[in-house]
Structure 1
């Protein structure tokens, strides 16, 4: 078996991290694996052992029209490269719906085409309709990161649900570092530097709760952070950090993890950072819709609250952080819940999907 994996933008966000885990699992099982992704960027997909890398051009642009133009050009380049590289016997694994050029060429070549879908919130609608239309036309099978997403974005294709999981090394380090003895009450959020991810809501919560420390880790440079908050007054209890390759220290020191995505603009299809926080025994507060509700059990290991409901979130933070007995119970429940989402399940299920 030869697997050709395709991804658009290599960075330190969730979808390339999941693909990295897949690639490591396949090579571990002696599957010949090739990766096509954009050149010139450092991310989770960089320098993975035993993976043959192939690069094509793509550049992210803030302007949506320029970004669409760049996407189109990149997919023409990708399609050209794949046309001369793919064999009919290959398994083409397309990570996210964005590399549509791969789906088109995979269909033309008669390959087994597997799409791994992570997203549902996408604008403009015409682009989303086009991309998911390519999926429906070209895919042999569609892999979803949660049951919620499979229900939200149904296609006529064969489907599987493959939950995101934690790497064994991550779990081992979390187990070694775990403690309920916190020297400081820290509320942590790790996300992209986007308004729809709840960055502004996190700032508001910090202002409303001066007795807690709020730490925001974003997938952005310090210059981008400064530009984003240039018109805001940052309270002294809010600390903002740029892109971090290693987030273990943040989870270790944190007391509570929050995800404040705006449910009107962005629905979380899974929530890998939530799962990582749970492995560290962190009670979590997340939106009441999306894939995150498959991770968080109301009142047991966290709470499901709309990010705009500042008063209720503040109330729950105070309850969690002022009651040691409750905190320890929720922390224990969070760890137990996270243990299902392990590397062994992920590896076995992904190879089953490839071999169907």
Structure 2
């Protein structure tokens, strides 16, 4: 059996890690299959894919990105026929094609020609015109669709007859949670981890800290970890804002780190102040895996991750005052961390661990993997 796994990225952000974990699950379920991974270019994600795939190929995928839509609609259209031909050739020679995210347009268009061969894993909640375009692509493809949350499925609003299901992202966490050490005798350590962008809400968190009474603000340390995607100006603006905060080095900005574990171990609380809906909320899940109760915006899939009052805290999105009040309450009541940390870890193990999600993937893939292979794949598929 020949299985191909297609991904639009090459870095080590949330969607990249989710893809690698899906590939690992597919490999475990089909150890004898020939597994091909297709990426747009080499990158840090290769470290997570080593030993999982029989081959890793690089192709100029036709990817719908907001930043490049104008180019795709002009010069990019000249590349579309070749991209479609490449995708169709791979679909023709594979028994199963797993496509990660809806923006890989060439594969979704070509999937229509090969019914029953494509599984589409949706990890995003787009907005406006982009959502309409992607929804049309998903419907056109005829693929079996896996959404990573109920919020994501609701955003796409596919017809009831569509073949869809929800499977949460399976995340590899530590073998055991970290101990809770905050007791109020030292500053509360806050961590914000993720891409620097307007959507993620770094500025909202800074506004929330600035709104704290000086005595409370002096009992907080904040570490922001992440980089902007091809946007040096946004990174510089955030660094300048931190420099002007008057926090005397208690707010630090660090670049993207492919290994977030040391940051979770350092933190007491992880903050996810997203301004727009997250499809699920990987950082919040990872925080719970480490026994770090998160403070999240009550929006999108984040409300499926965090149980307010039990495993963390939820606040209205884009509301610096509400976030400030939540942080002040944690500083005033250190015991609230110790009360939530065990419940957070249990929720991770039950819903979001690789073992839990692997069982759901197995139930979905088992009938497909039991079929007789349709075609013998060539030794190497070239673009």
Q: TM-score range by the shorter chain?
A: 0.7 to 0.9
Quote the residue 2:371 is aligned against: none
Query: RCO greater where, 1 or 2, for CA within 8 Å and sep 6 or more?
Result: 2
Quote the residue 2:203 is aligned against: 200
Mapped pair 1:342 → 2:356: no
- Separation in structure 2 between the aligned mates of residue 69 and residue 243 of structure 1, nearest angstrom: 33
Quote the residue 2:223 is aligned against: 215
Mapped pair 1:106 → 2:111: yes
Deviation at 1:230, TM superposition (A): 6.3
Is residue 16–residue 45 contact of structure 1 (8 Å, CA) maintained in 2?
Answer: no
Mapped pair 1:25 → 2:38: no
- Separation in structure 2 between the aligned mates of residue 227 and residue 296 of structure 1, nearest angstrom: 32
Mapped pair 1:269 → 2:279: yes
Mapped pair 1:84 → 2:94: no
Largest Rg, 1 or 2: 2
Of the three residues 323, 333, 341, the one matched with 1:331 is 341
TM-score (norm 1): 0.87
- Separation in structure 1 between the aligned mates of residue 144 and residue 274 of structure 2, nearest angstrom: 29
Report how many residues are paired.
Answer: 346
- Separation in structure 2 between the aligned mates of residue 290 and residue 92 of structure 1, nearest angstrom: 28
- Separation in structure 2 between the aligned mates of residue 185 and residue 320 of structure 1, nearest angstrom: 8
Quote the residue 1:128 is aligned against: 131
Deviation at 1:99, TM superposition (A): 0.4
SS where residue 56 of structure 2 aligns?
strand
Unpaired stretches in structure 2, ≥5 consecutive residues: 368-383
1:230-249 Cα deviation digits (max 9, x unpaired): 66353332111111011111
1:17-64 Cα deviation digits (max 9, x unpaired): 111001112222313221111114333676431312111126979565
SS where residue 348 of structure 1 aligns?
helix
Change in CA separation of 1:115 and 1:302 when aligned onto 2, cut-off 3 Å: same
Deviation at 1:95, TM superposition (A): 0.9
- Separation in structure 2 between the aligned mates of residue 14 and residue 233 of structure 1, nearest angstrom: 25
Quote the residue 2:293 is aligned against: 283
Quote the residue 2:374 is aligned against: none
Unpaired stretches in structure 1, ≥5 consecutive residues: none
- Separation in structure 2 between the aligned mates of residue 253 and residue 243 of structure 1, nearest angstrom: 16
Quote the residue 2:188 is aligned against: 185
CA RMSD of aligned residues (A): 2.6
Quote the residue 2:303 is aligned against: 293
Is residue 287–residue 305 contact of structure 1 (8 Å, CA) maintained in 2?
Answer: yes
SS where residue 33 of structure 1 aligns?
strand
1:268-319 Cα deviation digits (max 9, x unpaired): 1110110100112212211122111112112122222124322322222122
SS where residue 116 of structure 1 aligns?
strand
Of residues 285-294 and 322-331 in structure 1, the stretch that sits farther from structure 2 once superposed is 322-331
Deviation at 1:92, TM superposition (A): 1.6
Of the three residues 158, 161, 171, the one matched with 1:155 is 158
Quote the residue 1:257 is aligned against: 270
Mapped pair 1:242 → 2:255: yes
